[in-house]
């Protein structure tokens, strides 16, 4: 529900309007910029393109909390305007410049970025550049994502707003803007149920911060999810079997089940398959970071009581469905700041079952989500650690082999670790399910090999395990042999 000062128009008449060139001209060459954007939506588009057109003149530090579109992640980065960035990337050129160390890239968990900027000394921001669907004196309404924008606006001494006319104002019906207070006297977040509303539709700011408003009519990029593969469907089936046994095992799930899924084609496919699960009279709640098309399917089927996220990462068809049915979907979908959607205390409070994927899992249960061969950064850790560490049940779901290759994603030793064995409960591949809870390291290793590894590599993994367990040790490795495993 919008708060009492809901706007009748997108823009209050007395606010300063700027061309994007004039807005860019207010920035210093070495500015530290806080950008909105999460899940490739809700990011400014026109100002970054103007900066990119004169990229050699800049030496910027940029901060954003999730995936942004090509205007920032490709054109701005490729222009040479950026020398340092935090904390997510997704384009080939961004990865190339990260690997060559032309751009200094630092990764961070999504839930902590607001506090790190505002209180933790991560950067000294000069300006926040954000997108909105409506702007007034001392307030604006965010668009398809919220992410870390409330904290960024509080932290930045100056503010530029891109007002996007391509996004409906009615999105405000989904927003629940609540910001935790500052440490060390931060109150508990008063969210008793994931579907409750504890804030309003607007982000408020000191009006003296506003440099000006740039108008835009550019829609966000949309996701393109591949059709589920045979492996995806097998993983979904194995996950379904596990979920049914788990909700029957624990009294926590007698009445309701809280789920989270990682973003991407596999996560979207897993959501879609949940429609067929016979969960009896249990209500299903999504409490996660990113909302994808599969959740729209669940809402339309009447299978989802509520869905809480910080970004609407939809396909073109999914976005059309959402916009055409906003009045109905507003009863179910809530968009929150990332320090609420990914809050460790809330993830624990609701007893979330978290399902995320990875590049690889080693046989002891350590997870690599970010670095191929331990060296080459793919995207970033995002919110996976927020959920993996704090969920009641943590699941890593992934194919056992890299598609179209002989490369195993079950390995003897992960060469980069984002999530340790302490934060992982279950591994699921198309081969089966390995429940690691209560198992000692060698027991975990055997369970993962037997249940999750592809048959073509099980003998090699067994041979490796036999060779290292010939000597004493709690967790034993032959580092050189492990490094050669997928060579």
* CATH code for the domain in which residue 175 is found: 3.40.1080.10
Q: Annotate 204-225 with DSSP letters as a single string.
A: E--GGGEEEEEEE-PPPP-B-P
Among 50-54, 218-222, 366-370, 404-408, where is mean pLDDT lowest? 218-222
274 and 302 part of one domain: yes
Catalytic residue chosen out of the listed positions 173, 246, 289, 430: 289
245 and 188 belong to one structural domain: no
Q: Quick check: 133 pLDDT over 60?
A: yes
Mean pLDDT of 26-48: 97
pLDDT at 358 over 90: yes
Rounded to 5 degrees, φ, ψ at 35 are -100, 145
The pLDDT, as a whole number, for residue 222 is: 85
Check whether residue 72 and residue 124 sit in a common domain: yes
The residue out of 165, 191, 216 marking a domain boundary is: 216
pLDDT for the residue numbered 4: 43
126 and 156 fall within a common domain: yes
> Residue 394 to residues 121, 351, 423, 482: CA-CA distances in angstroms?
31, 10, 7, 25
Q: Is 284 helix (H, G, I), strand (E, B) or coil?
A: strand
Q: Are 132 and 320 in contact (CB under 8 A)?
A: no
Contact 333, 175 (CB under 8 A): no
In this predicted structure, what is the pLDDT of residue 265? 78
- Tally of domains within the chain: 2
pLDDT exceeds 90 at position 37? yes
Same domain membership, residue 283 and residue 134: no
Residue 2 has pLDDT above 70, yes or no: no
152 to 36, 311, 338: CA distances (angstroms): 8, 16, 12
The whole-number pLDDT of residue 112 equals 94
Tokens of 233: 């469907």
Give the pLDDT confidence score for residue 1 in this predicted structure.
Answer: 44
Which residues have a Cβ under 8 Å from the Cβ of 339 and sit 6 or more positions away?
111, 112, 114, 115, 148, 151, 179, 180
The answer to whether 171 and 141 have CB atoms below 8 angstroms apart is yes
pLDDT at 3: 52
Indicate whether 209 and 323 sit together in one domain: no
**How far, in whole angstroms, is CA 325 from its chain's centroid?**
24
- Residue 429: helix, strand or coil by DSSP? strand
At residue 6 the predicted structure's pLDDT band, cuts being 50, 70 and 90, is: low
> 368: which strand partners?
360
Q: Dig out the tokens for 354 from the structure.
A: 């978290």
What domain range is 389 assigned to?
230-484
CB 82 within 8 A of CB 62: yes
345 with 273, same domain: the answer is yes
Lookup: tokens for 34? 């806080």
Among the candidates 184, 216, 248, a domain finishes at 216
Say what the pLDDT of residue 275 is. Answer: 77
Question: How confident is the model at residue 194, as a pLDDT?
Answer: 95
- Based on the domain organization, do 160 and 287 belong to the same domain? no
**251 shares its domain with 128:** no
Last residue of a domain, one of 216, 247, 264: 216
88 and 167 both lie in a single domain: yes
pLDDT tens-digit map of 163-179: 999 999 999 999 999 99
Task: Residue 136: name the closest of 226, 2, 336 by CA.
Answer: 2
Q: For this structure, is 256 an active site residue? A: no
Same domain, 165 and 33: yes
In a domain, 326, yes or no: yes
Average pLDDT of the segment spanning 465-486: 94
Q: Per-residue pLDDT tens for 274-325?
A: 777 888 789 999 999 999 998 998 999 898 999 999 999 999 999 999 999 9
Q: Does residue 3 sit within a domain?
A: no
Q: What angle do CA 384, 319, 399 make, to 5 degrees?
A: 40
Report the predicted TM-score, pTM, of the whole model to 2 decimal places.
0.94
Average pLDDT of the residues in 219-226: 85
């Amino acid at each position: 529900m919008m708060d009492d000062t809901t706007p009748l128009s997108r823009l209050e008449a007395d606010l300063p309007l700027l061309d994007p060139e004039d807005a860019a001209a207010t920035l210093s060459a070495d500015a530290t910029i806080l950008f909105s954007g999460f899940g490739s939506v809700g990011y400014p588009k026109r100002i970054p393109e103007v900066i990119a057109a004169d990229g050699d003149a800049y030496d910027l530090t940029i901060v954003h909390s999730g995936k942004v579109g090509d205007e920032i992640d490709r054109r701005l980065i490729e222009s040479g305007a950026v020398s340092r960035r935090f904390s997510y990337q997704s384009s080939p050129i961004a990865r190339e410049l990260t690997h060559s160390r032309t751009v200094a890239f630092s990764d961070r968990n999504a839930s902590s970025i607001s506090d790190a900027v505002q209180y933790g000394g991560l950067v000294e921001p000069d300006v926040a550049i954000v997108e909105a669907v409506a702007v007034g004196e001392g307030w604006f309404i965010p668009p398809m994502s919220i992410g870390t924008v409330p904290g960024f606006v509080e932290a930045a001494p100056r503010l530029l707003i891109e007002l996007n006319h391509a996004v409906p104002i009615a999105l405000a019906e989904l927003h629940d803007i609540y910001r935790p207070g500052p440490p060390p006297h931060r109150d508990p977040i008063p969210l008793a149920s994931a579907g409750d509303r504890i804030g309003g539709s607007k982000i408020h700011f000191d009006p003296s911060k506003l440099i000006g408003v740039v108008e835009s009519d550019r829609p966000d990029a949309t996701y393109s999810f591949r059709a589920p593969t045979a492996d995806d469907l097998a993983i979904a089936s194995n996950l379904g079997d596990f979920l049914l046994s788990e909700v029957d095992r624990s009294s926590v799930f007698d009445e309701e089940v809280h789920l989270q899924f990682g973003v991407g084609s596999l996560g979207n496919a897993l959501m879609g398959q949940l429609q067929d699960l016979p969960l009896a009279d249990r209500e299903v709640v999504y409490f996660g970071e990113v909302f994808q098309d599969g959740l729209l399917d669940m809402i339309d089927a009447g299978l989802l009581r509520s869905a809480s996220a910080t970004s609407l990462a939809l396909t073109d068809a999914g976005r059309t469905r959402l916009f055409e049915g906003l009045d109905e979907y507003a009863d179910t979908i809530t968009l929150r700041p990332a320090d609420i959607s990914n809050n460790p205390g809330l993830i624990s409070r609701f007893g979330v079952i978290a399902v995320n994927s990875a590049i690889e899992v080693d046989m002891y249960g350590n997870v690599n989500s970010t670095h191929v061969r331990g060296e080459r950064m793919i995207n970033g850790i995002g919110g996976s650690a927020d959920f993996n560490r704090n969920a009641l049940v943590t699941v890593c779901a992934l194919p056992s082999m890299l598609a179209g290759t002989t490369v195993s994603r079950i390995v003897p030793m992960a060469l980069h670790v984002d999530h340790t064995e302490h934060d992982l409960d279950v591994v699921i591949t198309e081969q089966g399910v390995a429940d690691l809870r209560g198992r000692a390291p060698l027991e975990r290793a055997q369970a993962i090999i037997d249940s999750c590894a592809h048959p073509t590599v099980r003998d090699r993994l067994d041979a490796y395990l036999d060779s290292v367990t010939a000597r004493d040790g709690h967790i034993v490795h032959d580092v050189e042999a492990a490094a050669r495993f997928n060579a």
